[in-house]
Amino acid sequence: MTTAAASLPLPGRPVQGIGPTGAALRRLRHGFDGAVRLPGEPGYDQLRSPLNPALDPRPAIVAEPTGTADVRAAVLAAREGDLPVAVQATGHGLHRSYDGGLLLNTSAMSTVLVDPDRRIAKVGPGATWAQVLAAAAPFGLAPLSGSAPSVGVTGFTLGGGVGWLSRMHGFAADNVVRAEVVTAAGHVISASAGEHPELFWALRGGGGSLGLVTSLEFRLHPVARVYAGTSYFPVEHAHETLAAYRDWVEQAPDAISTAMLLTRLPDTAEVPPALRGRRALALRLMHVGDPAEAERLIEPLRAAAGPALLEGYREARFGEVAIGGTAPRHLDLLERLSDPVLDFLVEASGDEGLGISTIEIRHWGGAMANPGAGAGPVGHRGVPFSVIADAADPALVETLRPHATGGSFLNFLSDLDRTASAYTPGDLRRLREVKAAYDPDDVFRLNHSIPAR
């Protein structure tokens, strides 16, 4: 309580007027154990800053909850002051700057508990995938984590969550079994298949605008070792290899996840000499099983690509292989990779192209497309391919538009005006009904928000 008292208005210290911020601070004096920071106070800038340096959010109040009771107190304070509420833990997930409102930095709520018998992990909203990986590995278990261990678990999962095990076990959202939620009205509820089932459905892919999740329980999977990494090939055979890849994925088993990249490596000392400053075609993969079987599976791709410039596959425990991911500045979902699309992508990544450093073609499908009954609203599950570029060049956007579905994936979507495109029309209607029931005033609106009906 000492830290909070140093930041909250004390007797004799004026509350900031009688406006919304002052009303929220007045409420936060009572029942909040964490620290509260105002603009200009020590720690404010550190706690508000996201990982994206282009964004500059300036909340009226930054609060650091230490538990569920603090989160509830902060929501009630925000309601009293008529302030919108945002959440940040690791700095990932913010897509626009904003002024005002109450920001909850949940980094202190980072507990991770693993039940190896039930194969369940329970985490707080500040936990990262690195913490879950470390806790699950001694039991030979793995979560549905993404490419970057530093990413926060909760935001990743609520947005759907695609990772290198998703073709085998579905999206991260598909593996959630329970969530503790503080609603916009300040109620603490447990959402599961048997309790608040509509909210439970919506949370599993509907994003963070339906309530503040203060703990999340999800399934872990027995994954002892994987064969994974990135190998690089000459770009001269890119079109032939991508065409072979288009056909190859139709027979690829769910145990192997792959992506192909057209990329330019920087001319720096950190890059191996064979790749330094040159264009290359890369194949990223993770295979759960025998390395020899993985090599047998990818032999047609190797035959099309030619001898590797650099081999990057190795056998290791899951979580020990850093495969990486492409920064998603633009994403399209495609039903098929036509020859005109492949021609354009190869040209766009070339020396006389659009100046895009990396274009990634990823294969989805598998368990993501077949989640079973009751799965949440992760949209467009049946689409087999995504094209991700690390720059949203207008020529790229316009050229791909006629070939794309028009849908998107919430975790990779930075344009807040396109939130609805992450869902099917039916799921969007249902999400709006849930939003109207649990957050009719759109308190949680400072990032991707589902508009109420």
* Dist. CA 159–CA 209, nearest whole Å: 10
Q: Does any domain span residue 444?
A: no
Average pLDDT in the 432-442 region?
96
Range of the domain at 171: 112-222+419-438
Q: Domain check: are 362 and 266 in the same one? A: yes
Neighbour count for residue 352 (Cβ, 10 Å): 7
Average pLDDT in the 332-349 region?
96
Give pLDDT, residue 3.
Answer: 36
Q: Domain check: are 242 and 273 in the same one? A: yes
Give pLDDT, residue 12.
Answer: 30
Domain end position, chosen among 105, 130, 145? 105
Give pLDDT, residue 452.
Answer: 76
Q: How far apart are the first and last CA of the chain?
A: 41
Average pLDDT in the 152-173 region?
96
Q: Minimal CA–CA distance to 203: which of 410, 386, 365? A: 410
The contacts of residue 357 (CB under 8 Å, 6+ apart) are 263, 264, 390, 391
Q: Domain check: are 363 and 286 in the same one? A: yes
Give pLDDT, residue 23.
Answer: 87
The DSSP-derived string for 423-444 is S-HHHHHHHHHHHHHH-TT-SS
CA atoms within 13 A on the CB side of 363: 26
Give pLDDT, residue 17.
Answer: 44
Give pLDDT, residue 1.
Answer: 35
With cut-offs at 50, 70 and 90, classify the pLDDT of residue 300.
Answer: very high
Q: Domain check: are 50 and 116 in the same one? A: no
Q: Domain check: are 382 and 426 in the same one? A: no
CA atoms within 13 A on the CB side of 39: 11
Average pLDDT in the 322-334 region?
86
Give pLDDT, residue 18.
Answer: 46
Q: What is the pLDDT of residues 48-63, one digit of tens each?
A: 998 888 889 999 999 9
Q: Minimal CA–CA distance to 280: which of 301, 260, 258, 264? A: 264
Q: Domain check: are 45 and 173 in the same one? A: no
Q: Domain check: are 424 and 319 in the same one? A: no
The contacts of residue 308 (CB under 8 Å, 6+ apart) are 231, 232, 233, 302
Q: Contacts for 142-145 with beta carbons within 8 Å, 24 or more apart?
A: 142/220, 142/221, 142/222, 142/223, 142/318, 142/319, 143/172, 143/175, 143/218, 143/220, 143/221, 144/169, 144/170, 144/171, 144/172, 144/174, 144/175, 144/218, 144/221, 145/172, 145/319
Coil, helix or strand at residue 339:
helix
Binning the chain into helix, strand and coil, the percentages to the nearest 5 are 30, 20, 45
CATH number of the domain that 302 lies in? 3.40.462.20
Give pLDDT, residue 419.
Answer: 94
Average pLDDT in the 177-190 region?
98
Average pLDDT in the 93-108 region?
90
CATH number of the domain that 131 lies in? 3.30.465.10
Q: Does any domain span residue 391?
A: yes
Average pLDDT in the 267-273 region?
95
Structure tokens at 349: 């990544």
Residue in the block written with tokens 């005033």: 441
Cα–chain-centroid distance for residue 336? Answer: 24
Domain count, the chain: 3
Percent of the chain having pLDDT more than 90?
83
Q: What is the pLDDT of residues 74-90, one digit of tens each?
A: 999 999 999 999 999 87
Coil, helix or strand at residue 20:
helix
Q: Domain check: are 91 and 76 in the same one? A: yes
Domain end position, chosen among 105, 129, 144? 105
Percent of the chain having pLDDT more than 70?
95
Q: Domain check: are 273 and 355 in the same one? A: yes
CB of 111 within 8 A of CB of 92?
no
Q: What is the mean pLDDT of the chain?
A: 92
Q: Domain check: are 166 and 296 in the same one? A: no
